Amino acid sequence: MAILPQNLVPSQFVIVACLLIASLPTLAADQARDLSQYDVTGPYNIGYGQPTAGYERLEGQLREFLWTHWRDHRRGTAVATYQFVEGFVRTSYFVEPDKQGRWLIVEYTNYPYSHQRGSTFSCAEFERVEPDRLHLPLVAIPNTESRQAEMYLLHPICSKGKNAKLW
């Protein structure tokens, strides 16, 4: 059991906690992958207590990595730790082909401080949409239109309705 110094200020505690979470073993589902075949980015530590521009920039970098790797059919992986008031969530992303050759983004989410188990989500079709999470129906952005990553969201088309995933 690790013993932390008693004189840590709250911001130091958050940094130590993020490092501990980031060092947790990767989910078993990704153990069989040969990561030498993947472009790697991150880890991203996205804290929703930090200034809005900070987490939007980090989310944008992650989103752009996922979008360009999926669009260009390039293997990639990223790990993001999301800090909320309630705790942390660790998500691993993999951009890769499935057994039928369709390119997917696979998302493994782990809730280390919760009774919830990890979850897996994957999809083979994506679109960029306007960055308004509350607007339905979603407004697609043409693939030919160039945008900064902070100016769009990534929508897995297989996730629909009011609970549609938006990255």
Per-residue pLDDT tens, the chain, 167 aa: give them.
Answer: 344 444 444 444 444 344 333 433 333 344 589 999 999 998 998 887 666 667 788 999 999 999 999 999 999 999 998 887 777 888 999 999 999 999 999 999 887 766 667 788 999 999 999 988 777 788 999 989 999 988 999 999 988 776 778 88
83/90 Cα distance (integer angstroms): 9
Virtual torsion, Cα 19, 20, 25, 26, nearest 10 deg: -40
Nearest to 30 by CA among 99, 78, 80, 70: 78
- Cα(147)–Cα(68) distance, integer angstroms: 12
Determine the Cα–Cα distance for residues 131 and 105; give it in Å rounded to an integer.
20
> How many secondary structure helices (H) and strands (E) does the chain include?
2, 7
Query: What are the structural domain ranges in the chain?
Result: 10-123
Model confidence, pTM: 0.75
